[in-house]
A = this chain, B = another copy of it.
Amino acid sequence: MPARPGDALADVDTPALVLDLDKFEGNLERLMSAVAPRSVRVRPHAKSHKCVEIARRQVAAGAVGICCQKTSEAEPFLAGGIGDVLITNEVIGSRKTDQLAALAARHPAARLGVCVDDPRAVVQLGQACKQAEARLDVYIELDVGHNRAGVATVAAVVALGRAIGAQTHLTLRGLQAYFGSAQHRRGIAERRQAIAAATTLAKAARNGLLGAGLSCDTITGGGTGTFMLETTSGVYSEIQPGSYALMDADYSKNEQDPAWPVFDHSLFILTSVMSRRKDDLTNRATLDAGLKAYSTDSGAAMPTFPGWHIRGVSDEHTVMHRIGDGPELALGEKPLLIPGHIDPTVNLHDWIVAVRNERVEAVWRVDARGAVF
């Protein structure tokens, strides 16, 4: 454990995930205020934080529950008292459908949902639930443009709806219509266009289901980059933003609509300067955090201070060079970095150190760290 409640921030072991509680609480509040005038439900995506305590605070702020990506990821949240969990992903293969049905059976009072995009999966889920005497909510995943999963036609949606209806232990809830790749399109106009198309398709799919005598109570989707578009679409009934609570360098590059809420970076990597060289040839500070402390898939981390450029990142090192005025970064000093991509970064850590006014208030477990199954 990198710290204990009451420790000074300066005494936290490194590299560690540090959460600025004031900024985090501000993010939760700004999201809820922004969507409050609309009748959408908020179901934050927990894949970005994997932390039961954060989910509890999201629910306390008004969220209806959370999203997860995997059965094993849903497990600690259900065990931790989050009573409404949607796995926004397909669960394929009898080993996995058995695990999911068993999880549902262990939490009969909770609401647990999953996505499908293939009729064989519907049959397998239905049989697993029957066997386990469990019930699952099912959402048909609609491919609204990412071409990653989901079906792309109304006919396929209706066929899946009928297949779900034929299963005694599955309940058709509606549509998963998340446009993943649209979240990071930098321009507002591009994102607006993407979500307009997604909304049109989702509406047609819902009408298809209703026209076939099937139900479609919920259309769920939307992430941190687009959720205001889904919120005001008149079609989506639920949004799934995740990164808004913590933020990252990648999301902060998006162009912002002035009418949308702005979220602060609340999660940082606390590092230590572990090697320092300053002579005629180089002015270099090396930090003790590398690819095992933050991921670089969506670009480099961002220093929270000026005057330094990240030259390279290896397994356990970040090498920085001085390029202007900024802090000295003496040996042992503890600079903060903003991770490039929050989800795979949090997944590297066992603990989140929650800090207020430079003092550790709590240390939370990253409960679903490594939950890939």
Contact = CB atoms under 8 A, between A and B. Distances in A.
Interface residues of A, number: 66
Closest 4 CB pairs of A and B: A149-B275, A291-B344, A69-B316, A92-B274
28 contacts: A13-B95, A13-B373, A15-B373, A69-B316, A89-B316, A90-B275, A92-B272, A92-B331, A93-B272, A117-B275, A120-B332, A121-B331, A147-B284, A148-B286, A148-B312, A148-B317, A148-B319, A149-B275, A150-B275, A151-B277, A291-B295, A292-B344, A292-B347, A297-B313, A348-B370, A348-B372, A349-B372, A350-B370
Given A316-B70, A331-B120, A372 B293 contact: yes
A330 to B, nearest CB: 10
Contact of A282 (B96, B147, B149, B369): B147
Question: Which residue of A2, A150, A277, A350 has the most chain B CB atoms within 10 A of its CB atom?
Answer: A277
A161 to B, nearest CB: 18
Interface of A: 2, 11, 13-15, 47, 69-70, 89-93, 95-96, 117-118, 120-121, 143, 147-152, 180-181, 272-277, 281-282, 284, 286, 288-289, 291-293, 295-297, 312-317, 319, 331-332, 341, 343-344, 347-350, 369-370, 372-373
